[in-house]
Amino acid sequence: MRQPVVWVSVVIVIGLMVIITVSLVNMPQATVKTFPADKGPNFIDVSSYPPQMQEYYKIFEQKCSRCHTLARPINSKFAGEDWRKYVYKMMRKPGSGLTPKTAEQIIELLVYDSQVRKKE
């Protein structure tokens, strides 16, 4: 008597898997918003930067790439202390992983970089 119960269970599980798969395939995809800055270079050659800035760059890569391309901040026109407002705005976003300490390190890197690469 147990065999029909097992087969019914298997059929139900397979049916649910098919329904879930079809639902996921037909689900509207989230649109990824792109900005002009996303189309530029997605890295900075920091080999000539001071060692501390090179360390901050690693933090920048790890944290900022969680939510958007690295090209976005790298190619943005912010300079100097404009970065503080932007980074703290990002810190408030869920899942950013930014703390006040890492935010300050990233700001320091971005301010330094904006001075060194002399963005226009």
Q: How many domains would you assign to the chain?
A: 1
> What is the distance between the alpha carbons of residues 93 and 62, in angstroms, rounded to a whole number?
16
In a domain, 28, yes or no: no
Assess if residue 11 is contained within a domain: no
Q: Is residue 66 part of a domain?
A: yes
- Regarding pTM above 0.75, the answer is no
Could you tell me the CATH number of the domain that includes residue 52?
1.10.760
Buried-state track 91-109, b at ≥16 Cβ within 10 A, e below 16? beeeebebeeebbebbbbb
Q: What is the pLDDT of residues 34-74, one digit of tens each?
A: 888 888 899 999 999 999 999 999 999 999 999 999 999 99
Residue 18 included in any domain: no
Q: How far apart are CA 39 and CA 71, in angstroms?
A: 7
Instruction: State the amino acid at position 10 in one-letter form.
Output: V
Q: What is the pLDDT of residues 91-113, one digit of tens each?
A: 999 989 999 999 999 999 999 99
- Please give the residue that has the higher pLDDT: either 4 or 49: 49
Q: Which domain holds residue 52?
A: 36-116
62 within some domain: yes
Within-domain flag for 53: yes
Q: Is residue 97 a part of any domain in this protein? A: yes
d(CA 99, CA 88): 9
